[in-house]
Amino acid sequence: MRRHRWGWPGARGAGAALGCGAAVATGQAPLGMWGLALAGLVGLTVVIARAPDARAAAWLGLLAGAAHFALALSWLVSPFLIDAAHDGWMAPFAVLLMAVGLALFWAAAAAVAALAASRRRRALAFALTLTGAELARGYVLTGFPWATVGHIWIDTPLAQLAALLGAGGLTLLATLAAALPVAYGRRGLAGGGALLAAATAFGHYQLAQPAPAARPITLRLVQPDAAQHLKWDPDAARLIFERLLAYTAARPAPDLVIWPETSVPYLMEPGDGVALAIAAAAAGAPVAVGIQRVAGERYYNSLAVIGAGGAVTALYDKHHLVPFGEYVPFGNTMASLFGVTAFAAQLGNGYSAGPGAGVLDLGPRLGHVLPLICYEAVFPQDLRAAPQRADWILQITNDAWFGTLTGPYQHLAQARLRAIEQGLPLVRVANTGVSAVIDARGRVVAQIALGKAAYLDAALPAALAAPPYARWGEVPLLLVLAGLAGLVIWRTRRAMA
């Protein structure tokens, strides 16, 4: 590869990186083209291994990452098109800035890998550094682990590896399978194939295991299909609320009715007219609803369980908020230090964060549930932070913000991964879809399609014993990465001696 000023890899190198990054993106839901994604990852590993220096490698990683995230996260334009006349102009800039920002992690991974002494070791090093970068992406600046490389396996039996090593383990599986042929040619191709075959066999074995007996519980998932641009219109809100009540009142009554995130279009207090209407429709069944809650000068995005007489029997406040979507970072600090209150959550300008992950006790029949609101389901650390192991997971969300092409399906895919990692069934109820019941192996056993107004009565699948990832989190993966990195460094130093 020709050397250029500031390490620029030239038009050919840049084009190759962009193409490879775009190919990797095709592995994300709903396409799920994991074969093409893996081929793109092989090509990217070749390009990085052949980079003349770390600066060129950083450029290549940046370009590949930007192409990958621009395609995989193209749904980010959707929130800006809700009020296109006012916000539409920002859509391309938002996607570009997010894509380049996330691509910095790939650039760092490529630059560090390029420090290895040979192309073979660079290929192996890139498999490890890219895995580490994708893992870090879930934590830095509150994190955004959406569209990670390992997500290409979610629709395959290989996803069961997440029960051992989490989503990061799936990424390592992909990067190693791509690096081995680059490093060792035909031997590496055989080694990579054997690695994938072993993971596939493990997945099939896991999926073939009989599930424990499920509790005799019936849940009602209520999906009103409220378009985002109409959700808060007074007339439309009334009709949507009546639809929610009608679906709730259908007989026979289930054990629990579940409404999606912010589904109640009014501010609600325990025992008021809104709560009483919900309780009356349910005829004795508890109803888990998404509400906006006010406490003093603070607003919360919450899940409330409404029982007899409109009483709130359980409450959870979302704690992992969307930066710039639900709150403005440092807004409270600006208000307290400088008197700039426009962004202060405590003055109603955005949501305030709840105290943290929690588990709700819904009684001896429904058991203990781990609640998640919207994109909290993409953070495995949020589930591991719960104070105790739950019996099942409940996610309420409003995926109307994510458009209709890719975002809702990617969100669903990540929820499936959380079920595998925790060994727990997960029930998700979405405003516009996809609402689904997911078993503890990540399989969708019942669902309401995207863009459909309906309700679904479904049984709650059984929980499994806590798998290794639920017990130890990222520790096993970090040990594997440390061991492999130590081996690469040792071989590199030995070759340079």
Residue pair 37/27 in contact (Cβ under 8 Å)? The answer is: yes
- The beta-carbon contacts of 363-368 under 8 Å, at least 24 apart in sequence, are 365/215, 365/217, 365/255, 366/217, 366/255, 366/256, 366/286, 367/215, 367/391, 367/392
Residue pair 29/413 in contact (Cβ under 8 Å)? The answer is: yes
Q: Is-cis flag, bond preceding 329, omega within 30?
A: no
| Residue 374 bears catalytic tag | yes
Residue pair 111/54 in contact (Cβ under 8 Å)? The answer is: yes
Among the listed residues 132, 91, 106, the one whose alpha carbon sits nearest the alpha carbon of residue 20? 106
Q: How far is CA 459 from CA 142, 215, 260, 430, in A?
A: 35, 8, 18, 18
Binning the chain into helix, strand and coil, the percentages to the nearest 5 are 55, 15, 30
Distance CA 347, CA 339 (A): 12
Q: How far is CA 383 from CA 120, 320, 434, in A?
A: 38, 11, 21
| Residue 318 bears catalytic tag | yes
Residue pair 69/98 in contact (Cβ under 8 Å)? The answer is: yes
Catalytic residue among 20, 134, 231, 261: 261
CA 78 vs. chain centroid, Å, equals 17
Distance CA 72, CA 465 (A): 34
R_g of the chain computed on alpha carbons:
24
Catalytic residue among 231, 374, 376, 421: 374
Catalytic residue among 134, 318, 376, 421: 318
| Residue 20 bears catalytic tag | no
Q: Which residues lie across from 455 on neighbouring strands?
A: 222
Q: Which residues lie across from 299 on neighbouring strands?
A: 294
Q: Catalytic residues, which ones?
A: 261, 318, 374
